[in-house]
Amino acid sequence: MAEIKYEIIRKAIQKEIESGKYQVGDKLPTESNLMETFGVSRYTVRRAISELQNAHYVYRIQGGGMYVDDWQDSQQPPKANNKMIGLVTTHMVDYIFPNIISGI
């Protein structure tokens, strides 16, 4: 089965980023340059870039171009910063310390 055009572009750009050709914060070629390089339509390039954005490899600045995102940092699982405690209780109308429990 032949690869889809946007997948070829996505893989090529992703490989260049992962190999270090483009560093975090580097500006990527324009859509027009990518269209010419790969011989595809603007829609195909945008679809490939959209896939890379979803994977946190690139980000766009409207009117400013496409840049390499900190993709290695985004591959880390998110750190849990919330400290949540659950409280199971009975009806609290006349329970001991109702204000403390309702304040929780």
**DSSP of 37-56, one letter per residue?**
HHT--HHHHHHHHHHHHHTT
Cβ-based neighbour number of residue 84 at 10 Å: 5
Q: Do the domain assignments include residue 10?
A: yes
Across the chain, mean pLDDT equals 83
Tens of pLDDT, residues 49-65: 999 999 999 999 988 89
Identify which of 55, 61, 46, 54 has the alpha carbon closest to the alpha carbon of residue 5: 46
Question: Is the pLDDT reported for residue 76 higher than 60?
Answer: no
* Domain containing residue 41: 5-74
Q: What is the pLDDT of residue 36?
A: 96
Domain count, the chain: 1
The CATH number linked to 57 is 1.10.10.10
CA distance 103 to 95: 14
CA angle 68, 70, 73 (to 5 degrees): 160
Q: What is the mean pLDDT of residues 2-27?
A: 92
Residue 35 lies in a domain: yes
pLDDT-derived band at 14, boundaries 50, 70, 90: very high
Residue 56 belongs to some domain of the structure? yes
- Among 23, 6, 19, 3, smallest CA distance to 68 is for 23
0.75 surpassed by pTM:
no
| DSSP helix/strand/coil, 50 | helix
In a domain, 24, yes or no: yes
Residue 93 lies in a domain: no
